[in-house]
């Protein structure tokens, strides 16, 4: 959640500050604080309001029905690890059932190509397991590599589409847009989510806090901004 003691301490004051209304968070500065009219709280950079949990979430990516929670700064590493280990489990299941499935398919082509019988024999169970592992593994694998790209480029899913809009505006002005949260290398961006150290140890389950909280810089403009 973006609104806490740390967020309130660095947020602009409402007293004596000019009020500027913007149509979208894309129009905010990269390190500007705002005010969320839905949660009535200071809006930190990279934070967004989640309509399901009714909370302002720092580094919000999306709401995940599988985790029954919104994915943001505090749990993004766990979400990526969740995708990784589900993918590993599916690959393991495919490896166990591939040979029996191919052998069964050669002898029962009509059964595989035609309607699937609800016959829970051992061979059928292996076939169903292979199909499920392949289907889930493909879907989760695509999602995992998408988020691996986002980690390497220091973006969330929401920021990716926002950066596309900002890059287009920059091209219209004859400029080149650069993601201000990108530290310049995939390794450094990886460490923003998983922390420094061995990447193979970083993907193991742990309860450590996420590193490098992306709070605004000290020179953030003192301007009160309401997102409408």
Burial class (CB in 10 A: 0-12, 13-18, 19+), 97: buried
What is the chain's length? 228
List 27, 29, 30, 64, catalytic entry: 64
Give the Cα separation of 148 and 159 in Å (integer).
Answer: 15
Give the Cα separation of 27 and 21 in Å (integer).
Answer: 10
Find the DSSP H helices in the chain: 5-10, 76-107, 109-113, 122-152, 157-172, 186-194, 199-202
Active site residue 90: no
Closest among 71, 80, 196, 89 to 149, alpha carbons compared: 80
Give the Cα separation of 142 and 139 in Å (integer).
Answer: 5
The sign one gets for the Cα dihedral 18, 21, 24, 26 is negative
Catalytic residues: 64
């Amino acid at each position: 959640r973006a609104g806490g003691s740390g967020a309130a301490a660095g947020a602009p004051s409402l007293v004596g500050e000019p009020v500027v209304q913007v149509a979208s968070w894309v129009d905010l500065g990269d390190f500007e604080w705002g005010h969320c009219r839905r949660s009535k709280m200071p809006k930190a950079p990279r934070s967004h309001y989640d309509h399901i949990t009714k909370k302002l979430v720092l580094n919000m990516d999306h709401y995940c029905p599988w985790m029954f929670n919104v994915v943001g700064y505090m749990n993004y590493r766990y979400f990526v690890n969740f995708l990784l280990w589900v993918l590993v489990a599916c690959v393991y299941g495919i490896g166990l059932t591939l040979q029996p499935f191919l052998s069964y398919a050669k002898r029962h082509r009509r059964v595989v190509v035609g309607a699937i019988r609800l016959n829970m024999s051992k061979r059928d169970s292996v076939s169903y397991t292979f199909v499920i592992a392949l289907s889930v593994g493909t879907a989760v694998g695509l999602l995992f590599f998408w988020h691996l790209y986002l980690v390497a480029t220091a973006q969330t899913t929401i920021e990716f589409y926002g950066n596309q809009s900002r890059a287009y505006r920059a091209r219209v002005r004859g400029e080149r847009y650069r993601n201000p949260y990108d530290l310049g290398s995939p390794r450094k961006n990886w460490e923003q989510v998983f922390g420094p150290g061995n990447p193979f140890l970083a993907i193991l389950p742990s309860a450590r806090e996420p590193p490098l909280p992306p709070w605004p810089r000290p020179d953030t403009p003192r301007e009160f901004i309401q997102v409408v």
